[in-house]
Amino acid sequence: MVFPGVAASSLRPGDRARAARTVRALHEVDLRVAEGSVHAVVGPRGAGKTTVLNLLSGYLAPTAGQLLVLGRDVTGQQPEQLARLGVGRSFRPSSVLDALTTAEQVELALASSSADHGRWPPRRELGQFREGAEAVLAEAGLAGQADVLAGSLAPCERRALEFAVAIAPGPQVLLLDEPTAGLGPDDVDRTIALLTRVAAGRTLVLVDHNLYAVRSVADTVTVLRGGEVVAEGAYDEVRPELGA
């Protein structure tokens, strides 16, 4: 898998990829992602989509092949190491904490990526990141909601907060796991608009079952089935493999 440019990566998962739990094996998957593009990975459940994200973010190590970043082999490096190289990720289920405000969530993300902190700062010290947090929240469409508890957000706003947490450290490659999952039609449209904003100046790789969203935002679509690539190209080119 190749991320050209600042976060240039090449990863070819081998015939098996395993963690402590069972994961979907990938068979000679070679995924090349153009710099500044939105690249969707789709397929039926169990096709290997989340395995791709786990490999790219360091939560799984391939048993064969390489991960290259800026021409350097970083195969087997941990998620925090890849994060420092500019690879960010959102998760399903959400990692948002209901008891914290939106600003505190983003402040924690900023603090964790700060060179000045080798530890998680206590809550009372998060205020030093307030200005940066408010800027990130504004980018995610949450301006004016810095002091709102995450647990009181509407579903679309909560998704926007997840994006804010993911982009706070400044990743140049952003991996998104089912960004429209669980949202109604109106919220899906709002999230599509948010994805378009977030994609500006970044490379996005996303997994999603919502083909309307995929068609709306993706420059390139890779279709997986049984751990293998069965089609790749623009949405209309791969549509016959999607049953759409």
**pLDDT string in tens for the chain (244-residue length):** 444 322 223 344 333 333 333 445 787 788 788 888 999 999 998 888 988 888 888 888 877 777 765 566 778 888 888 888 888 898 877 778 999 999 999 998 888 776 554 556 666 677 788 999 999 999 999 999 999 999 999 999 999 999 999 999 999 889 999 999 999 999 999 999 999 999 998 999 999 999 999 999 999 999 999 888 999 999 999 999 987 6
Query: What pLDDT sits at residue 155?
Result: 92
Q: Are residues 137 and 217 in the same domain?
A: no
Query: What pLDDT sits at residue 93?
Result: 75
The CATH number of the domain where 233 resides is what? 3.40.50.300
Q: Which residues contact 233 (CB under 8 A, 6 or more apart)?
A: 220, 221
Is 196 among the domain residues? Answer: no
Q: Are residues 74 and 100 in the same domain?
A: no
Is 104 among the domain residues? Answer: yes
Q: Are residues 103 and 165 in the same domain?
A: yes
Long-range CB contacts (< 8 A, 24+ apart) of 211-218? Answer: 211/42, 211/242, 211/244, 212/188, 213/179, 213/180, 213/188, 214/40, 214/42, 216/192, 217/38, 217/40, 217/192, 218/38, 218/39, 218/40
Is 189 among the domain residues? Answer: no
Domain that holds residue 243: 1-86+173-182+202-244
The total number of structural domains in the chain stands at: 2
Is 30 among the domain residues? Answer: yes
Query: What pLDDT sits at residue 22?
Result: 40
